[in-house]
Each structure stands twice: as C-alpha cells, then as structure tokens.
Amino acid sequence: MKSKKCQVLVIGAGPGGYVAAIRSAQLGLKTIIVEGEKAGGTCLIRGCIPSKAMIHAAHKFHDLAKHSAKGGHMGISIPGPAEIEMAGLKGWKDQIVDKLNKGVEHLLKSAGAELITGWAEFKDAKTVIVGDLTIEAENVILANGSVPIELPFMKYGGNVISSREALDLDEKVDHLVVVGGGYIGLELGIVHRMLGSEVTVIEAMDSVLPIFDKELRRPLELFLKKNKVTVKTGVFAKGVENIDGRTKVDFIDKNEKDESKMQSVIADKVLVTVGRKPRSDGLGATGVALDERGFVKVNQRCETNMRGVFAIGDVCDSGEMLAHVASFQGEMVAEIIAGKDRMYDPVAVPAIVFTEPEIVSVGLSPYEAKEAGHPVITGKFPLAANGRSLTQEAEKTGGFVRVVAREDDHRILGVQAVGTHVSELVGEWTLALEMGALLEDIAGTIHAHPTMTEMTHEAVLATLGHAIHIA
C-alpha cells in the first residue's frame, strides 16, 4: 500500500472543501484534498449551479411562450409554439457543470493542492485510506457536506426521486408531485411548471416557505395560484403506490385521525424535498463528537473536540447549510491552521430562494427585530415604481424591497425583498449590515440610474419617511 503525508488533508471538494484546499495551498501548506465524485460537490454538480441553469432555461421557455401567443408580446412574435427538448436542456446544463468542475480542478492544481479522487475511509482522526493509498495528515478539515433526507415510507427509487435525479430528467414530466414546500421543492417545482408540467406541492406546514414572513411569501403564493400550481398545505404525505407505471401519492390533513379521509394524487414523478442531513456516517473512527442530529460539533473556529481536526459547511453545527457559509468557513479554517486569528462570527448571512419571484433575506425581519426588543422602523419600495424593473418586466410579480432599522439610532438591522432578479441586490445589504451602516449611510450614497439598486436607496428613504418615487 502506498502512503502520503501532508500538513492539511481536506475531505470533500465541495464549496467549503475546495476553497479550504486552495487557500491552504496558497499559504504554503502541503495540502491534499479527497473527493469521492467530482470537484465542486453538491452545489456545483447536482445543486445550486445546475438548478439555476434549469431555472434560467425555464424562464426562457416561459417567455418564448408569450411571444408565440396570438398577437405576440412587446411587439415581438414568433411563428408556432415554443418547444422544449429535455435531453437538449440537460446537455446544455451539463456543459456548464463540466466547465465549472474543470475550473475547480484547475484552481486546485494552480494553487498547489493535490486532488485525489476516491472515497476516504478513516483509520483514525488523522489517517485515511483511499483505495490502495494511506494518507496521514497533521490537520484534517471535514467538508463532507450533506445528503437529502429520505422518508422511510417513500424510499428513493423508480418514480420517487430526490433533487439529484430531478436535475437529470431527459424527458418532460406530465405531472410532478413535490413532497415538501421548502426552497428546493419550490424552485424545482416552478421550473417544471414553466416547462409545461402539471405540478402539485404537498406541505405539512400551514404555508410554503414557513421560514419567511407572510408579507414576503404573498407574491410567491399569488404566482403559484396564477400559474396553476396546486398547493396542499397542512397535510402529511403518507406513502406511495405504483399503478401502471405511474405513482399514487397518499396524503391526509395533519389534524385528521380518520384514515378513511385519506386523499391521493397520481404522479409521473414524485420529488421528495423534506430537507438535508449531514454526511457524517463513517466518522466514528475520527473520535469527533456529533450532536443528536448527526452534525459535527464545532466552536467558532470550526474546531472539533479532536485537536487539529476541523469541520466546515453542511456537516458541522455552526452556521446555516449554505454554500457561501461553507466557502467562508473553508477559507477561515485554512488561515487558522496557518496561524492567523480568525473566527466565524458573521453579523448576517444572506438567504436566497430562487423561485419566481425570488425571495431574499439578510439580517432581521421586522418581526424578529421586535421580538429581540429593538424599537423598529421599516420602509418598503415596490418594484413597480422602479424604471429598470419595468424595462425587465420584473414588477409583474408584485415585489418590493423592505428595510428594517432601529428607531433610536437608525442602524440597519435587516433587508428583505421579493421579486424578479432581486437576488442580485443582496451584496450591498450584507455589506451594510457587516459594516454597521446607518440609514443615513445608504441615503447619502449615490446609486446608479437606471438600476434595480436604486430600490435600496428608495426603501431607505421610505424608512426615513421621505421616499422620492412613491407618493
């Protein structure tokens, strides 16, 4: 058996792992990174990137349908109906993924990090076996990521699929049933509705996306209704049954005890999106402590209970299960190993749902701020009053930008928005919170015209009581 030694061993080449490996190598540390599949991890290969490609394509198809309708749209008309060829869409999406995968491999190589493909089996906390290779490390960074949660009565296989399979469909689905009305289920459900599928969403909570307040959810709920997405809330999925190549999904009101009141719907595919869990199986030999849900316990430096062993991203219990959190922690841990003084203590972490309309939140909502005891003032500005939004038809979803600030000192506590393209605005909001910006700081900043960023300026002015472009 061959052997290697290194200063830093990274397990997993997702958005946390590959960033950690690149930064570690940049700092002059001998670095090895092990990945069982392709560099880029869930986000790049079967999550964030392919789903956003699918979302973009679905929007294109949806828009073309307007132009092919009788009379056209915008003065533009095309002969005949728009058509979708799923295999071609999948091929285009895969090209983007492959390009980015090769890009990550190139970045690792350029930085001096060695990428080894294979599944790592821990012998002890700092020794792994990959095939016929043993690797010993001075420091280990666990970036194992997460996997979809599987319902025991709705096992993956056949017509029951996870988000991974949903992104690799090469045929149009006539009727897609989505179990779970969170961000993954709604993003993919809306994609398939825009591509012409019938879509039914089954959600146990009383609303879809319950993590967001009612005001933010409202434009999305109206879009779902307008586009004939059937939404069943407050119901439990109970099981599936194959019927002549299709699948019957049983569900019942969560307060109903009489199973004779069971309802059902027939689907061609059943997409189960009820959350994700850490990929922490196989860490027993490391001695790292796990919490009751299987997350690796870490401190604010992402250190585990084992000296020289760190955990970042979805596998650890510090921070949200988001790619950008994993990347931040990966860079941070590499610098900690190199002797720098770093700590994971962000003021705010942006969250985005790429539905139509998009929903974005960073910092505190008005309701969270009040619960925290802050004296709160808020201001809103609608997309319908923004020129750039109108030129992109972004106002049609009835969205807005909302600013939350403390009444006494005008410190910005949070910013939320719902609407087409609003995800691109979140960088300014996150920076403002990290820098402790006041309303006056944003109000005194010149925002380019015509852009959607002007809505941030106007929402701040509305919070101060004197917005210019709304009466």
Active-site annotation, residues: 449
Please name every residue paired with 291 in a beta bridge, in sequence order, or none if there are none: none
CA 377 to mean position of chain CA atoms? 29
Distance CA 464, CA 442 (A): 11
Give the total residue count for the chain.
471
CA nearest neighbour of 356 among 199, 464, 202, 204: 199
- Name the one residue in this structure whose structure tokens are 């570690």: 24
Separation between Cα atoms, residue 456 and residue 433, nearest integer Å: 13
Q: Are 77 and 155 in contact (CB under 8 A)?
A: no
CB atoms closer than 10 angstroms to residue 80: 6
**Which segments of 214-316 are extended strands (E)?**
230-233, 235-243, 246-253, 263-267, 269-272, 276-278, 309-311
Query: Is residue 3 packed enough to be buried (19+ CB in 10 Å), middle (13-18) or exposed (0-12)?
Result: exposed
Contact 403, 464 (CB under 8 A): no
Name the nearest CA neighbour of 301 among 141, 126, 124. Answer: 141
Asked whether the beta carbons of 10 and 141 are under 8 A apart, the reply is yes
CA dist., res. 40 & res. 49, Å (int):
10
R_g over Cα of the chain: 24
